[in-house]
């Protein structure tokens, strides 16, 4: 079976050369079939773009791919035992940013330092971009 190809519009030039470079590398290095049913941390996403670790360009490239519906972003919550115990959607995290606190999924108490507890992960959306 022939592998599927990406159909994602290029980001605007104003996004900057670094972001464009990340985007091109992402298309060159990856095929949709290889990314399905996997979850990628920010570090792993940077590697998909050919970078050793995440920087502003990979972050902005990730934002662009999420805005285009290529990836879904979700967050894992690190609980007080140091374990990832719950997932949060991007919408829930946006709401928490607006309010200035996240509700602890176990106790129901408000956490103001929630940003250090949430870790973004990316999962490929099916399959309108291919």
Binding residues (CB under 8 A) for another protein: these are: 34, 36-39, 74, 76, 79-81, 83-87, 99, 101, 103-111, 113, 116, 121, 123
Question: 51 with 61: CB under 8 angstroms?
Answer: no
The least distance separating another protein from the CB of residue 70, rounded to whole angstroms, comes to 17
Report whether 3 contacts 128 (CB < 8 A): no
Instruction: Report the nearest approach of another protein to the CB of residue 80 (Å).
Output: 4
Q: Toward another protein, which CB reaches closer, 12 or 39?
A: 39
Residues 6+ apart with CB under 8 A from 70: 6, 8, 124, 125, 129
Nearer Cβ to another protein (59/123): 123
Query: Residues 69, 123, 94, 13: is their CA dihedral positive or negative?
Result: negative
3-state secondary structure of 76: strand
Query: How many whole angstroms separate alpha carbon 9 and alpha carbon 65?
Result: 10
Specify the residue, 67 or 80, whose C-beta has the smaller distance to another protein. 80
Closest distance to another protein from the beta carbon of 20 (Å): 29
Closest to another protein by CB, 55 vs 104, is 104
CB of 39 to another protein, least distance (A): 6
């Amino acid at each position: 079976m022939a592998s599927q190809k990406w159909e994602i519009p290029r980001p605007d030039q104003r996004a900057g050369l670094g972001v464009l470079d990340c985007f091109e590398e992402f298309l060159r290095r990856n095929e949709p079939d290889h990314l399905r049913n996997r979850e990628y941390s920010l570090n792993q996403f940077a590697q998909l773009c050919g970078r050793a670790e995440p920087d502003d360009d990979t972050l902005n490239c990730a934002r662009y791919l999420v805005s285009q519906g290529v990836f879904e972003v979700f967050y894992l919550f690190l609980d007080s035992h140091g374990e990832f115990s719950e997932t949060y959607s991007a919408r829930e995290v946006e709401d928490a940013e607006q309010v200035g606190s996240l509700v602890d999924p176990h106790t129901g108490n408000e956490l103001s330092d929630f940003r250090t507890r949430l870790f973004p992960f990316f999962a490929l959306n099916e399959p309108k971009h291919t």
